[in-house]
Amino acid sequence: MKILKITLALCLLAGLAAAEDRLPAKVVRVVGTSEIKVVPDRAVIAVGVAKQDPSASVAKHAEDAAARRILATLHGNGVDEKDIQTTFLSLQPQTSYVKKVRVSYFVAQQTLTITVRDLAKLDQLLEALIKAGGNQIDSIVYETSDLRKYRDQARDLAVKAALEKAAALARALGQDIGKAQSIEEVPESESIANTRLYGNADKDRVRTEAPSIAVGQKSISASVMVAFELN
C-alpha cells in the first residue's frame, strides 16, 4: 500500500510539472507598422495602337506602320532600347452592326511598355507618342528606382514601432518587456499611383482634353509582428 501511495504521488507531481510546461508563455505580442512617402523618379507607361480594316493584312500593315513611327519617336526622344518592350500583340476578327447591318472587320493591336527615367519629359513624350499614332495610353505607373532602400527603412521603422508599442503596453500593466521571442514580417500590398488616359485618332482633341499629370507620392509600408517577454 505504501509503495502504491508513493507511486501515485510521483505521478501527480509529474503531471503538475507537465501542466506547468504547457502554460502559455508570458509574452506581449504586438504589430508594428510604418509608412514612408517617396516622390517617384520614373514612370512606366503603356502606349497602344489599334487599326481596323476589312482586310486582316491591311489592318496589320497599318498597325505595324504606326508602331514603327512610335518606336522612331521614342528613339528620337532619347528613350533607351532597353526601356522599350512590346507587351501585347493581337489580330482579331470583330463584328459590329451599323443601321442593323452586320459589318465584319479585323482589328490589329500592339501595346508598348516604356520606362521614362526623366519625368520632366513625360508630358512632351506623351504628346509626341499621340502624334506618332498611339491612339490609346493604357496606363501610367509611377515608380522609385531605389525601392529596396526605402523598403528596408520602412521595415526598420516598423520594428521600432513594435518595440515602442510593446513597452507602452507593459508599462500600463506596471511591467517591463524583455527579449524578443519571435518576429515575423506581415506581407502588405503596395500603394501604386496609376493613371489611365484614353485617346483616339483625333490628335488635337486628345492633346486638348488630356489632364495635367501630377507625380504625387508613392507609399511604401511595412508591418512586423513581434512577441516580447513580459517581465
Tens digits of residue pLDDT in 86-132: 999 999 999 988 888 899 999 999 999 999 999 989 999 999 999 99
- Name which residue leads in pLDDT, 125 or 4: 125
Rounded CA-CA distance 120/39 in Å is 13
Q: What is the pLDDT of residues 6-39, one digit of tens each?
A: 555 545 545 545 545 554 578 899 999 999 999 9
Same domain, 33 and 105: no
In the chain, pLDDT over 70 holds for what percent of residues? 78
Residue 181 belongs to a domain: yes
Residue 198 above 80 pLDDT?
no
Residues 70 and 135 in one domain: yes
Q: Which residues form the domain of 223?
A: 24-40+145-191+216-231
Instruction: Mention every residue, 6+ apart, whose C-beta is less than 8 A from residue 130.
Output: 137, 199, 203, 206, 207
Give the pLDDT of residue 138. Answer: 87
Among 86, 120, 143, the domain boundary falls at: 143
Please check whether residues 117 and 59 belong to one and the same domain: yes
Distances (CA, A) of 5 to 15, 43, 109: 15, 80, 89
Of 103, 74, 109, residue with least CA distance to 90:
109
Region 225-230: what's the mean pLDDT? 94
pLDDT at 216 (0 to 100): 84
Domain identity same for 31 and 47: no
Within-domain flag for 96 = yes
Residue 172: inside a domain, yes or no? yes
CATH code: domain of residue 85: 3.30.70.2970
Where does a domain end: 115, 143, 171? 143
Confidence label for 215 from pLDDT (cuts 50, 70 and 90): confident
Q: State whether 79 and 112 are in the same domain.
A: yes
189 band by pLDDT with thresholds 50, 70 and 90 = low
Q: Is the pLDDT of residue 78 over 70?
A: yes
**66 and 98: one domain?**
yes
Burial of 64 (0-12, 13-18, 19+ CB in 10 A): middle
Indicate the residue among 143, 158, 181 that finishes a domain.
143
Average pLDDT over residues 217-226: 92
Asked whether 5 and 198 are in contact (CB, 8 A), the reply is no
Question: What does pTM read for this prediction?
Answer: 0.65
Sheet holding 101-116, edge to edge: 84-98, 101-116, 42-53, 136-143, 194-197
Tell me what pLDDT residue 17 has: 52
Residue 51 lies in a domain: yes
Q: How many domains does the chain have?
A: 2
Burial (0-12, 13-18, 19+ Cβ within 10 Å), 140 = buried
Within this chain, do residues 111 and 164 fall inside the same structural domain, yes or no? no
In a domain? residue 131: yes
- Does residue 94 belong to any structural domain of this protein? yes
Q: Assess if residue 16 is contained within a domain.
A: no
Structural domain contains residue 231: yes
Which one, of 134, 138, 126, 139, lies nearest residue 65 by Cα?
A: 134
User: How confident is the model over 35-49, as pLDDT tens digits?
Assistant: 999 999 999 999 999
* Per-residue pLDDT tens digits for 134-149: 988 888 999 998 999 9
Banded model confidence at residue 81, pLDDT cuts 50, 70, 90 = very high
- Decide if pLDDT at 175 tops 70: yes
- In the structure, what pLDDT confidence band is assigned to residue 190 with cuts at 50, 70 and 90? very low
Contact predicate 55/70, CB 8 Å? no
Cell numbers that stand for 231 in this block: 517581465
* 110 shares a domain with 48: yes
Structure confidence at residue 84 as a pLDDT band (50, 70, 90): very high
| pLDDT for the residue numbered 195 | 38
Residues 49 and 139 in one domain: yes
Residues 34 and 58 in one domain: no
CATH number at residue 220: 3.30.110.170
